[in-house]
Amino acid sequence: MKYFFVSLFLMSQIASAKVVLIDPGHGGEESGAVGHLDARRTRKVFEKDLSLRLSKKIKEELSKSTTAYLTRSLDRAVSLQERADLADIVKADLFLSIHFNSSTNAKSHGFELYYLDNNSNVAANKVERSENLNLKGEELIVNQILVDLVVQQTVHHSKELARLVHERVRPVVKLNKIEDRGIKPGLFYVLALSKRPGLLVEVGFVSNPDELRKVNEEKFMNNMAKAIAAGVVSFINKQK
Ligand SMILES: [Zn+2]
C-alpha cells in the first residue's frame, strides 16, 4: 500500500513537470563558429562541440527535477525544422537553444541571452544571420508570418524565462570576468519553428581566444549548466 502511494506521488510529480527540449546548436559538417585555444592556431575548438557539451550538462541538471531531452546527443547535422519538429514529438513546453558566439573582431566578448521577438537591432542581426543559416528565400517569407504568430503567443513567457535564467547566470558570468551583454530580442527561426516559449543562449565568443579558454573550462561549463537549469526550474515552479 505504501508503495502504491509513493508511485501515485511520483506519477503526479511527472504529470506536473514541464518538458524541456535542449537544442545544442549546429552539428556534423555544420561546425558553427571555430576558435583556437593557442596563438599558433593549432588547437581548434568547434562551437558544435561546446554546445553539445554544455547541453548535456544542462540536461543532466534539469533531469533532477523535470523531464529534459536533447535535439541531438551526437555530432550530427540536424536541420532547424527537424529540431523544431522534435518539440512536437516530445511535447516540449520549453525550448532552449545553446550556442557560442563569433565575430570577425577577435576582441568581441560577452554573454548574451535571446528570446524570440521582431527587432531591428543591428548587433542582434549579425548573430541572427549566423544562427539562421539553414533557411533561405521562400522559406523565410513563410516563416515571417509564423514568427509574428509565435511571438504573440510566447513572448510574455519567453521574457520571464530569460529574466529568471539571467538572474542565475549573472554571478557565474561575473565570477569568470565575462561581460554580461544581457537579454535581447532576436529573430531566431529555430525558436519560431519550435512554437514554444524559449531562449537562445550565446554563452561567449569562441573567436576570442581568452574567452574561449574560459568557456572551454570544465568547471565553467558545470557552473553555467547549473545556472541555466536553475533559472529554468524557477520559471517552471512559478508557473505551477
Ligand atoms: Zn551557433
Cα–ligand 1 centroid distance for 66 (angstroms): 26
C-alpha separations of 154 from 16, 18, 150, 194 in Å:
20, 16, 6, 11
- Predicted TM-score (pTM) of this structure: 0.89
* Spans of all domains in the chain: 17-239
Cα–ligand 1 centroid distance for 33 (angstroms): 7
Cα–ligand 1 centroid distance for 85 (angstroms): 19
- Environment of ion ligand 1 (residues, CB < 5 A): 25, 32, 99, 131
SS3 of residue 113 by DSSP: strand
Size of the chain in residues? 240
At residue 204, does pLDDT exceed 80? Answer: yes
- Annotate 169-234 with three-state secondary structure: HHHHHHHCCCCEEEEEEECCHHHHHHCCCEEEEEEEECCCHHHHHHHHCHHHHHHHHHHHHHHHHH
Looking at per-residue pLDDT, the higher value among 102 and 127 belongs to 102
Amino acid at residue number 59: K
Per residue in 14-44, pLDDT (tens digit) is: 445 699 999 999 999 999 999 999 878 889 9
Q: How is domain 17-239 classified at the architecture level of CATH?
A: 3-Layer(aba) Sandwich (3.40)
Mean per-residue pLDDT for 195-211?
Answer: 96
Cα–ligand 1 centroid distance for 202 (angstroms): 8
Per residue in 171-194, pLDDT (tens digit) is: 999 999 999 999 999 988 899 889
